Amino acid sequence: MNYLKPVLTAAMLTFALAACESKQEDKREEALEQKADKMEDRADAVREQGEATADRIEKQDPGIDSHTTDRTADAARETAEKRADQLEDKADLEREKK
């Protein structure tokens, strides 16, 4: 039984040291988190710009061919949404690097 105590102590120390992160690691993770946050902010801005563009298209409709106007506005929204989704996917990948 006496041999078990040093083995358990060594195992506990190993886990304790592995759980500690260095300041450099903390800074790296914080930088990755900030980069991901900026990408998400850009994604939000892209969505807002896409919606604003679609709204402008709809407001400029003279009423002659509103079906075409609606399709054009929807296309603007979809394009912005796809771009925003890509930015969010990149942000997720950045967070996974932690």
pLDDT-based confidence at 16, cuts 50/70/90?
low
User: How many residues in the chain?
Assistant: 98
Residue 10 has pLDDT above 60, yes or no: yes
Task: Quote the CA–CA distance of 79 and 73 in Å, as a whole number.
Answer: 10
pLDDT digits (tens, 9 = 90+) for 68-94: 889 999 999 999 999 999 999 999 999
* First-to-last C-alpha distance (Å) of the chain: 40
User: Amino acid letter at 70?
Assistant: D
Tokens found for residue 60: 């400029």
Predicted structure pTM score? 0.69
pLDDT digits (tens, 9 = 90+) for 23-59: 888 888 899 999 999 999 999 999 999 999 999 998 9
